[in-house]
Amino acid sequence: MPATVIVGLQWGDEGKGKTTDFLAEQVAVVVRYQGGDNAGHTVVVGEETVKLQLCPSGVLYPHITSVIGNGVVVNPATLIRELDMLIGKGIDVSKVRVSRSAHVIMPYHVALDKANEARLGGAKVGTTGRGIGPAYGDRAWRLGLRMEDLVVEDRLRERITRALADKNLLLESMGAERFEVEPLVAQCLAWGERLSPHLDDTTWLVQDALRRGDHVLLEGAQGALLDLDHGSYPFVTSSNPVAGGACTGGGIGPLQVDEVIGVMKAYATRVGSGPFPTELLDDTGRGIAERGREFGTVTGRPRRVGWFDTVPLRYAVAVNSASAIVLNKLDILSGIETIKLCVAYEIDGKRTETWPSSGAMLANAIPIYEDFPGWDEPIHDVRSLADLPENARRYVTALEDHAGVPIVFVSVGPERTQTIERAWRPMRHRPGVQA
Ligand code: IMP
């Protein structure tokens, strides 16, 4: 009954797609459990580069059932475009299953997200403008539409009419255009017709797979520091990327989780607004951004870059109960003379090693660094930790000590093969490996 959860330990964009891809051969089902088309990952398979926003990366493998779980908010237009793109590349999408209970991102959610950000001006969150917050808001307010509603005309009309009553007032108050009921009903019915072959009760699908002993991978989007509860609120997304979200949004119970793999980069990045104590605004930061190609997959926005921060790392490991860590993009730090590692903060004159739950405290945090001498040697071809330059090894060991959890993969380049595989607590279903 192995279920493995893959989570981001930073502010998203840690390279979770590469980790899923690395493990894909041994899994039967890959589940997205939260977020929506605010996420984006690029997967390279052979000659093909595929950018995905909603389908889990497993969709590229014919043996994998790809599940969009109940915790995801689905923009049907994006999903249909993505399915068409995949079909155009000769990929079989018949195993893409979408939870009937997943909520729909409606065009008015997108309009509300954009209008609200414009209204907030300098205080904006810097959202991806995909309607994520308003769609989750309607879910909590019980005004949302679920995927199952897309195929029932009467219910659609009733629910859209109810939702639009106050949506239109709000939109007009922000100078945005109103929506009419009937064109939305027609649009939803067209989406429903196209997507109905993919709709499923995905909780039972996942439960049946686990009962059979199939390996299920639950793939988080964004990262722990963007978590609605655990991140730097209000500069967060509107879902729970942490491992607990895999239970509520993927249809499994906490005791069914076998392993939680936390993914992080050798430095930090953040997209959008919000406190970022270790942010680099100098040439070192620009160099990392350039070498690491730190631009958003969805919006193309340049990502903010900073030194690695162990204060939120310890928090992220704790709230996810991460049992193993994947460290990505170590190669991007090659050539930097001195690498700084944030080990604590000074807040209001006091040293703390604890991630503050208050956003205001975080905004006042001054990072306290430990310096690590860098390395010049290229490390793309290194395949064992022992062959890394000594300074790189010291840096990796320091990260591991702070996390208190083994780093099992170190990525030294974008290719799947450019990976150091380390002390690995084997997953039960690894072929040829005794658990
Ligand atoms: P939203 O999820 O579009 O509402 O955006 C809320 C915050 O999460 C903003 O700071 C976004 O930049 C950030 N965010 C959302 N999705 C991602 C992602 O996939 N990677 C990095 N940041 C993200």
430 has pLDDT over 50: no
pLDDT band at 424 (very low <50, low <70, confident <90, very high): low
Distance 272 CA to ligand 1 centre (A): 7
CA distance 166 to 134: 13
Residue 183 confidence (pLDDT): 98
Residues contacting 117, CB < 8 A, separation 6+: 124, 125, 126, 127, 129
19 has pLDDT over 90: no
Q: How many CB atoms lie within 10 A of CB 177?
A: 10
Residue 360 confidence (pLDDT): 85
Distance 114 CA to ligand 1 centre (A): 13
What is the mean predicted confidence (pLDDT) over 191-201? 98
- Token digits of residue 258: 């076998």
- Token digits of residue 210: 């686990």
186 has pLDDT over 80: yes
pLDDT tens digits, one per residue of 257-311: 999 999 999 999 999 899 999 999 999 999 999 999 998 777 788 999 999 999 9
What is the mean predicted confidence (pLDDT) over 50-59? 91
41 is catalytic: yes
Residues contacting 401, CB < 8 A, separation 6+: none
Phi, psi torsion values for 122, nearest 5 degrees: -65, -20
| CATH tag for 3-93+201-421 (out of 3.90.170.10, 3.20.20.70, 3.40.50.1100, 3.10.100.10) | 3.90.170.10
Q: Could you please report the per-residue DSSP string of 44-77? A: EETTEEEEESSS-GGGGSTTPEEEE-TT-EE-HH
CA distance 429 to 435: 8
At residue 308, the 3 state secondary structure works out as strand
- Token digits of residue 207: 């439960």
Between the alpha carbon of residue 395 and those of residues 294, 364, 372, the distances in Å are: 21, 27, 7
Nearest to 411 by CA among 326, 297, 328: 328
Nearest to 355 by CA among 34, 9, 12: 9
pLDDT tens digits, one per residue of 71-120: 999 999 999 999 999 999 999 999 999 999 999 999 999 999 999 999 99
Catalytic residue among 41, 215, 230, 402: 41
Residue 425 confidence (pLDDT): 56
Q: Is residue 217 left, alpha or beta, with left meaning phi > 0 and alpha meaning psi from -120 to 50?
A: beta
Q: Ligand 1: which of 78, 139, 226, 227 to mutate, judged by most atoms within 8 Å of the beta carbon?
A: 226
Ligand 1 atom at minimum distance from 128 CA: 3
Contact of 78 with 110, CB cutoff 8 Å: no
Residue nearest to atom 10 of ligand 1 (CA): 272
64 has pLDDT over 80: yes
CA distance 318 to 315: 5
Residue 299 confidence (pLDDT): 76
Name the residue ranges covered by the structural domains of the chain. Answer: 3-93+201-421, 103-197
What is the mean predicted confidence (pLDDT) over 328-343? 97
Q: How many CB atoms lie within 10 A of CB 104?
A: 26
pLDDT band at 49 (very low <50, low <70, confident <90, very high): confident
Strands 96-99 and 199-200: parallel
Contact of 374 with 344, CB cutoff 8 Å: no
Q: Which range, of 5-9, 22-26, 105-109, 407-411, averages the lowest pLDDT?
A: 22-26
Distance 303 CA to ligand 1 centre (A): 11
204 has pLDDT over 90: yes
CATH superfamily of 103-197: Adenylosuccinate Synthetase, subunit A, domain 2 (1.10.300.10)
> Which residues make beta-bridge pairs with 326?
263, 409
Residues contacting 224, CB < 8 A, separation 6+: 7, 8, 9, 10, 230, 231, 241, 242, 312, 315, 316, 319, 320
13 is catalytic: yes
Distance 273 CA to ligand 1 centre (A): 9
pLDDT tens digits, one per residue of 149-171: 999 999 999 999 999 999 999 99
Phi, psi torsion values for 265, nearest 5 degrees: -95, 165
Q: Which residues line ligand 1 at a C-beta cut-off of 6 Å?
A: 12-13, 38-39, 125-128, 130, 132-133, 221-222, 226, 235, 237-238, 271-272
Q: What percent of the chain has pLDDT over 70?
A: 96
What is the mean predicted confidence (pLDDT) over 117-142? 95
pLDDT band at 3 (very low <50, low <70, confident <90, very high): very high
